[in-house]
């Protein structure tokens, strides 16, 4: 099958070979973000060992870019406590409410998994 595509105003003719029958089911290859209701674990299959009001969890598998808090520090509601990079996008991890930081469980350069506890509050 021949197709014509245009990139930056320049047209290219390409030949495409169809390897699968269009009637066959295709696997879903896109991840979807769905907000998690309050009080539930943010990642399926992760044990809820912590009270979710007393922790900040990683929203995605990625790399910690910046830790903005340390143990003993007071934080306000919605204050950025950590920055996690996943797929070249930075995600701000914020405090759920005003509290005092009990422990910081990840440092810049650490790899983290989705749902991993990053910061614990008293």
Per-residue pLDDT tens, the chain, 122 aa: give them. 787 888 888 888 888 776 665 555 544 434 444 455 555 544 443 444 556 778 999 999 999 999 999 999 999 999 999 999 998 899 999 999 999 999 999 999 999 999 999 999 99
Nearest Cα neighbor of 58 from 2, 121, 113 is 113
A 10 A CB-CB count for 101 gives 19
pLDDT of residue 50: 54
Q: For the chain, first and last CA: distance in Å?
A: 63
Question: What is the model's pLDDT at position 27?
Answer: 47
Q: Which domains does the chain have, with CATH numbers?
A: 52-121 (2.40.50.100)
pLDDT of residue 25: 52
> What are 13's strand-pairing partners?
4
Neighbours of 74 (CB within 10 A): 12
d(CA 74, CA 56): 14
Output the DSSP codes for 81-121: EEEEEETTEEEEEE-SSSEEEEEE---TT-EE-TT-EEEEE
């Amino acid at each position: 099958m021949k197709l014509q595509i245009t990139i930056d105003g320049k047209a290219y003719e390409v030949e495409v070979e169809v390897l699968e029958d269009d009637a066959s089911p295709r696997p879903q290859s896109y991840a979807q973000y769905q907000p998690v209701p309050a009080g539930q674990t943010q990642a399926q299959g992760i044990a809820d060992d912590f009270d979710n009001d007393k922790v900040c969890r990683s929203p995605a598998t990625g790399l910690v870019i910046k830790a903005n808090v340390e143990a003993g520090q007071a934080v306000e509601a919605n204050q950025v406590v950590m920055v996690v990079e996943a797929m070249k996008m930075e995600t701000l991890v914020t405090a759920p409410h005003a509290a005092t930081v009990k422990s910081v469980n990840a440092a810049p350069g650490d790899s983290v998994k989705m749902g991993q506890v990053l910061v614990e509050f008293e």
